[in-house]
Structure 1
Amino acid sequence: MGLSWKLYQLQIVQGAELQKKARSQQTVNLRPYIPRRSIIDSQGNVLASDHLEYILYVHPIQLKLPKEEIAAKLSEILENQTPQQLLERFKERKTGVVIARGLPEGVTQRLRKLKLDGVELNEAYARFYPQEQMAADIIGYVDGDRHGQAGMELSQENLLERDLTSLYVRRTALGEIMPAFLPEDLLKSNDWQVQLTLDMRLQRAARSALQQQLKKFNAKRGAVIVMDSSDGSLLSLVCEPTFNPNQFYKSKVELFKNWTVSDLYEPGSTFKPINVALALEAGVIEPNSVFNDSGLVTVDGWKIYNASKAGNGNINVAKVLQVSSNVAMVQMMRRLSREDYYNRLQKLKLNQKTGIDLPGEASGHLKSKDVFTSQGIEQATTSFGQGFSLTPMKLVQLHGALANGGKLVTPHLVRGLVDVDGNLHWKPNHETHSIFPPKVTQQVVNMMETVVNSGSGEVSKIPGYRIGGKTGTAQKAGPRGGYLPNAKITSFVAILPVQSPRYVVLVVVDEPKGGNTFGSTVAAPVAKLVMDALISLKGLPPSK
């Protein structure tokens, strides 16, 4: 009767409580390590991924063998660490002395074979960038806490970080997890990767061409942008100088930003085709309109010259672009009222960001309507690309509208999330705005072709291919107003192929040194090499 009573107490009265206690002892909470998603280019090449590395610890208080012997054995395996240096490290504390980080598997296997008491190897995951400097200004880096600090690692943190799932599973009396209770769908990690529109083959070609030119002209910095104007996808984005994201702590902080989206500059003559499109759309000029270029025009008491200081006589609109006439551009844009011109510039969203998926983008700067319309000099300087500022990326966006029939697309690098087989599971949505009619854009691109065939962009000509282009050599604005002496920004923008415009290539070289430093001599040769690579990689057929 006593046993029956006890059984009743355990089974009925205390049963629920004891069952709960038993399950808590049998259940273990697993919080598995969830790596950041890998970043790959359009061809599947890995740009960033998490990999396993090892940290070597020594606990001097636990050493069984003499410290000198331990130091000698470790020194035979570790690079650049002498026995004497290791002995000095052993003196730092009694336990937990970090001897080396980021050890590869081969080294760790040799260390394990030593089987030394007081010597410990711990596993850790680290972010690895196999392309090193080649895509650093796009990818960025993560800090020691695995938080993005620049580039895509920062701006796409939400895409790259996976949700950390807690798994509650059953275990046996010996502590082993019971296979029947493993939730397979939860343990199976999400294997999607963040794929970029970037093509590393083109990226290498662009960086190599730019590096050679920067060295030749001892320039401060440079950039190359290649965009598919049909949707705004960026095939290449190069900034020089750059840094190694695997060793970001050795680099200057200013290298971590992508200055094609963060820094403003006056675009100079590369903006002239945009102004021509505005004038054509307004109906104040026709492609065959003629202007008399005397080499000098005076506005509000200011004398404006052509860069050559010479006149070109009576020239049509295409010739204006070929010789990059400042005087003719002033005359052209004067046909618009100041207010109308300003409103049309506003339609281009010059004061707004492009919306690119990189951090730190700056908005362009166009003076207020009151200032712009109160003085004729503002309209005049804007006509040849000075007196306002934008980012190189904004200029590419605007030329993209000339290439694609008038749409202002959003430049972007993220294609979407793909699985290991390359199947796309998610992609971002980007806005587009119409700013020019297609007829106008094709007229302007045809005019830009004459710049390459018989104008300042001849050095970029590629036999068999129709290419439109525009050179630019602009004064460099100072931080306190005015322009810096002996400082200029040279650039060249190209659109190809002319018969079916699609790709935009921009090369910008900041502060080249020497006497013969113009957009035609510094930037255009780089663009030619980049276009050669683009034609080869995309299989673009020669023009008929």
Structure 2
Amino acid sequence: MYKQRQPEPRKNPSERSRQSKRLVFRRSMVLMGVFGLGLFIPLLIQLWNIAIVHHDEYQTKAIEQQLMDVTVSANRGEILDANGDVLAMSATVYNLILAPKDLVASVSESKFKDEDGNLDEDAYNAEIQRKRDVVVDGLCELMPDLDREKLEQRMEKTNSQYEVLATQIEEQDAKAIRAFIEENNTSYYLYLTPSTKRYYPYGSLASQVLGFVNSEGGAYGLEAWYEDLLKGVPGRVVTGKTAQNVEMYNSYSNYIDAINGYDLTLTLDATIQSYAQQALEKGIEMYDVQNGGFCLVMDPQTGKVLAMASSPNFDPNNYSVISDSFLLQDVETDTATIYQQLKAENGAKPAEEQLTDAELQEQAQAQAKGAAREKQWSNRTVKDTYEPGSTFKALVLAAALEEGVVSENDTFNCPGYYNIGGWRINCSKRTGHGHQTLAEAVQNSCNPAFIEIGQRLGAEKFYEYFQAFGMTEKTGIDLPGEEKGVNWGSNMGIVDLAVASFGQRFNVTPIQMVTGFSAVINGGNLYQPYVVQKVTDSEGNTVKENSSTLVRQVVSEQTSQRARAILETVVSEGGGSNAYQAGYRIGGKTGSAETLEDGRTIVSFMGFAPADDPQVIVLMAYDTPKEASPGSSYGTCGVYISGGAMAAPRAGELIAQILDYMGVEKQYTTEESAATTVTTPQVTGYTVADAAVRLEKKNLTYRTVGTGDVVTSQVPAANSAVPGGSTVILYLGDAAPEETTTVPNVVGMSYEGAKKALEAQGLFMQAAGSSTFYSESSKAQSQSVAAGESVATGTVVQVQFSTLVEDGAADFYEIT
């Protein structure tokens, strides 16, 4: 049955009040927890964001605010020549830094607030501007090259703490700036930081080999190739700082020493490098060479490069400056050409994108100057390729001797041309050399003879030696930008073989040619060339040392000896006679290569000495001696355009200079000894008969002026240095020498003719250049004292002789 629920006992009022309070408390606690949690979660997220997500960012900011981190530059390593002379070095310079933000912070707002805390903004800003003006006015006075407008604009960058106002400030200027900073109390926002600057004490000497350093580090040459070794590792000084950016020396500090760069000691010799550059420039000036040239000097026994010279040249201390006259002409010409191209391109653009004429001119000039700088920075000895011409015949000779397809007893007939494969190939001597031995064919640089030698070798064997001598691969020299030549590959046709046999229609680099030629004359060994001899640390400890690297043996020692003997006769009897230097046995080969460009011929000479034991090999080349008229075989200087007539004399002089410097003893032939300088004996006061005996002992002749038996005066005076074989003038009786005489013009005369003309005027001749003992074809090319000048009687005039050498490049055309 249904049971009625009994009513609960009625609670008293106090009990109900307590329950109500507990309910409110519980609800309050729940609400507080909910709201507290709601507030804490964003804080937790933000804390996570700061501590975890953006930890590195905030840590960096904290370090920036609390620590001062200053980089300490490492000293860049020096570059030294083989004798330890410094070619490149670094010295301390300074950068001028401005902190615009700190300048503003240096003006305290509290000084410009009234009692109620209100800021007088006009007075506050005026003080900031005053400090700015002090800096701008002072720096512009100390450094006139500073752009005032740009400096004022940098002052406005109030969020910046690092504005570089000037770099590479020399110590003298830095001293004045320090005095200014101290006097005006600006060190809080204007200061100097140490840096380094690269100096090249010898200026343009070996500039393309050394390269230079710009803001990014080593650029070009060894400076770029060995950048990682030279640059070193910067150090750091980390110290605490105040909120006002003042260093706290007694707080946290950490010093990390800089590691200086390594030093490079080169195989280059500064003296030999200087000789090479002078010889190259002398020829460029003498022969009116339009496109510069190059000169390479190497030790053929090891591959050590002793000198590398390229023209046009530059000074790495001011590497952007273009000083070569021909390059400056190119800039002017190229600017006009580029401007026309840019103008045409500009006209095709929408009107709103078109540049003004002034802007186009500026762009054109910038491009032209950029191309000119690239040209002057280029090391032509490793980067440029050229047709070697007849200098390559030495390699063909060695290959043919090694294979036994020719011998010293072989003879060749040259009618002045060679017909092959439907082509007629002319010799440099159009009338032909006629019947000749192998040595004579090399001396005459006879193209038909070498075409025949090439045919005897055959295309396959020819190409094998072409590869073996390194003509298809880079040498591996430790310099940037090395190229390799372009050739026909193994698919040589019969005409390809014919023209390749005398060094045309393929390209090699000068360094390839020198290393290959060295293998011909050094015993048959192909060495890898190199320019860095050793790497040392700042304390002089050797880190790395290079030595000669044998790549392969190409021909035998016997073959090399036979080739050397034949190549020596090129200078003693043949087309290289203008390289002759009394007392030294020089061998070599001339070369002249016409290019596919009209009027462009590269004339060269490869010489080595001593011929029986080569210690030095020289390649001298001139690019485009100016023709007297279009198509002329003669230059504007009047000299026949060929390697034998132009490059050989300069190379011969250079070889003699180098051997003298190296202390190689001269060995004179009987004829040379007779012509060497002797000291005139005292014959005044002697009878003519006694004087004649004394003069004969010195290999001197005499002639008399006046009458009598006793010599009353002599020209030249006793103890004067004159060439052997000279004629001394003996004055008899009342006859007396004139104090001065006029120098005759002997240019174009033979040796004997020039000697007689000078002696007739009471002067003496010192001959140089082509051997005067070989033939009457040797002619005076220049004289040390200009014709018509008045000089003291007895003066020795140096006369440069040369022999006409028709070793010009061959031309060939298709027979129709």
Determine which of 558, 581, 598 is the counterpart of 1:439.
Answer: 558
Find the aligned partners of 1:262 and 1:296 in 2 and give their Cα distance.
Answer: 34
> Which residue of structure 2 lines up, in the alignment, with residue 110 of structure 1?
176
Find the aligned partners of 1:69 and 1:174 in 2 and give their Cα distance.
Answer: 31
Please state if 1:126 is matched with 2:197. Answer: yes
- Decide which moves more: 315-324 or 115-124: 115-124
Find the aligned partners of 2:402 and 2:582 in 1 and give their Cα distance.
Answer: 32
RMSD over aligned CA atoms reads: 3.1
Please state if 1:229 is matched with 2:300. Answer: yes
Determine which of 206, 215, 219 is the counterpart of 2:276.
Answer: 206
Find the aligned partners of 2:575 and 2:285 in 1 and give their Cα distance.
Answer: 23
Find the aligned partners of 1:337 and 1:310 in 2 and give their Cα distance.
Answer: 27
Shift of 1:518: 1.2
From the superposition, tell whether residues 538 and 419 of structure 1 become closer, same or farther in structure 2 (CA, over 3 Å).
Answer: farther
Shift of 1:163: 4.7
Please state if 1:503 is matched with 2:543. Answer: no
Find the aligned partners of 1:489 and 1:91 in 2 and give their Cα distance.
Answer: 56
Alignment of 1:488-499 (within 5 A): 488-499=601-612
User: Larger C-alpha radius of gyration, 1 or 2?
Assistant: 2
Alignment of 1:132-281 (within 5 A): 132-146=203-217, 148-163=218-233, 174-175=250-251, 187=257, 189=259, 192-219=262-289, 220-250=291-321, 252-281=373-402
Counterpart residue identity of residue 208, structure 1: Q
Determine which of 436, 439, 461 is the counterpart of 2:580.
Answer: 461
Alignment of 1:257-336 (within 5 A): 257-336=378-457
Counterpart residue identity of residue 404, structure 1: N
From the superposition, tell whether residues 167 and 438 of structure 1 become closer, same or farther in structure 2 (CA, over 3 Å).
Answer: farther
Find the aligned partners of 2:135 and 2:526 in 1 and give their Cα distance.
Answer: 69
Shift of 1:285: 0.8
Counterpart residue identity of residue 466, structure 2: L
From the superposition, tell whether residues 165 and 92 of structure 1 become closer, same or farther in structure 2 (CA, over 3 Å).
Answer: closer
Please state if 1:41 is matched with 2:162. Answer: no
Show CA shifts across 1:418-452 (max 9, x none). 35686644213534210010111111111111111
Alignment of 1:280-429 (within 5 A): 280-370=401-491, 372=492, 375-418=493-536, 424-428=542-546
Asked whether the 8 Å contact 1:234–1:411 carries over to 2, the reply is yes
Asked whether the 8 Å contact 2:521–2:563 carries over to 1, the reply is no
Asked whether the 8 Å contact 1:223–1:508 carries over to 2, the reply is yes
**SS of equivalent residue, structure 2 residue 591:** strand
From the superposition, tell whether residues 97 and 338 of structure 1 become closer, same or farther in structure 2 (CA, over 3 Å).
Answer: closer
Find the aligned partners of 2:603 and 2:475 in 1 and give their Cα distance.
Answer: 22
Asked whether the 8 Å contact 1:141–1:151 carries over to 2, the reply is yes
**SS of equivalent residue, structure 1 residue 484:** coil
Shift of 1:528: 2.2
> Which residue of structure 2 lines up, in the alignment, with residue 540 of structure 1?
664
Shift of 1:174: 1.9
Asked whether the 8 Å contact 1:499–1:543 carries over to 2, the reply is no
Shift of 1:331: 1.5
Counterpart residue identity of residue 216, structure 2: D
TM-score, normalised relative to structure 2: 0.57
From the superposition, tell whether residues 89 and 534 of structure 1 become closer, same or farther in structure 2 (CA, over 3 Å).
Answer: same
- Decide which moves more: 437-446 or 271-280: 437-446
> Which residue of structure 2 lines up, in the alignment, with residue 480 of structure 1?
none
From the superposition, tell whether residues 106 and 29 of structure 1 become closer, same or farther in structure 2 (CA, over 3 Å).
Answer: closer
> Which residue of structure 1 lines up, in the alignment, with residue 95 of structure 2?
55
Counterpart residue identity of residue 53, structure 1: V
- Decide which moves more: 101-110 or 276-285: 101-110
Shift of 1:137: 0.3
**SS of equivalent residue, structure 1 residue 203:** helix
> Which residue of structure 2 lines up, in the alignment, with residue 5 of structure 1?
none
Shift of 1:521: 2.4
Find the aligned partners of 1:157 and 1:188 in 2 and give their Cα distance.
Answer: 16
Asked whether the 8 Å contact 1:490–1:509 carries over to 2, the reply is yes
Counterpart residue identity of residue 116, structure 1: N
From the superposition, tell whether residues 215 and 63 of structure 1 become closer, same or farther in structure 2 (CA, over 3 Å).
Answer: farther
**SS of equivalent residue, structure 2 residue 563:** helix
> Which residue of structure 1 lines up, in the alignment, with residue 155 of structure 2?
94
> Which residue of structure 2 lines up, in the alignment, with residue 18 of structure 1?
none
**SS of equivalent residue, structure 1 residue 121:** strand
Find the aligned partners of 2:459 and 2:392 in 1 and give their Cα distance.
Answer: 18
Find the aligned partners of 2:135 and 2:454 in 1 and give their Cα distance.
Answer: 83
From the superposition, tell whether residues 48 and 282 of structure 1 become closer, same or farther in structure 2 (CA, over 3 Å).
Answer: same
Structure 1 gap ranges (5+): 1-23, 477-482
Find the aligned partners of 1:488 and 1:140 in 2 and give their Cα distance.
Answer: 28
Asked whether the 8 Å contact 2:411–2:438 carries over to 1, the reply is yes
Find the aligned partners of 2:392 and 2:133 in 1 and give their Cα distance.
Answer: 70
Structure 2 gap ranges (5+): 1-62, 105-127, 157-161, 240-247, 323-372, 628-633, 635-639, 669-816
Shift of 1:390: 0.6
- Decide which moves more: 341-350 or 95-104: 95-104
Counterpart residue identity of residue 201, structure 1: T
Asked whether the 8 Å contact 1:90–1:97 carries over to 2, the reply is no
From the superposition, tell whether residues 329 and 173 of structure 1 become closer, same or farther in structure 2 (CA, over 3 Å).
Answer: closer
**SS of equivalent residue, structure 1 residue 340:** helix
> Which residue of structure 2 lines up, in the alignment, with residue 526 of structure 1?
650
Find the aligned partners of 1:461 and 1:63 in 2 and give their Cα distance.
Answer: 76
Find the aligned partners of 2:214 and 2:467 in 1 and give their Cα distance.
Answer: 40
Shift of 1:154: 1.8
From the superposition, tell whether residues 323 and 46 of structure 1 become closer, same or farther in structure 2 (CA, over 3 Å).
Answer: same
Show CA shifts across 1:311-347 (max 9, x none). 1122112111211100111112222232222223222
**SS of equivalent residue, structure 1 residue 123:** strand
**SS of equivalent residue, structure 1 residue 485:** coil
**SS of equivalent residue, structure 1 residue 133:** coil
Shift of 1:157: 2.4
From the superposition, tell whether residues 289 and 509 of structure 1 become closer, same or farther in structure 2 (CA, over 3 Å).
Answer: same
Counterpart residue identity of residue 109, structure 1: K
Shift of 1:41: 1.0
Counterpart residue identity of residue 176, structure 2: R
Identity across the alignment (%) = 30
User: Could you say which structure has the greater relative contact order, defined with CA pairs below 8 angstroms and 6 or more residues apart?
Assistant: 1
Asked whether the 8 Å contact 2:132–2:155 carries over to 1, the reply is no
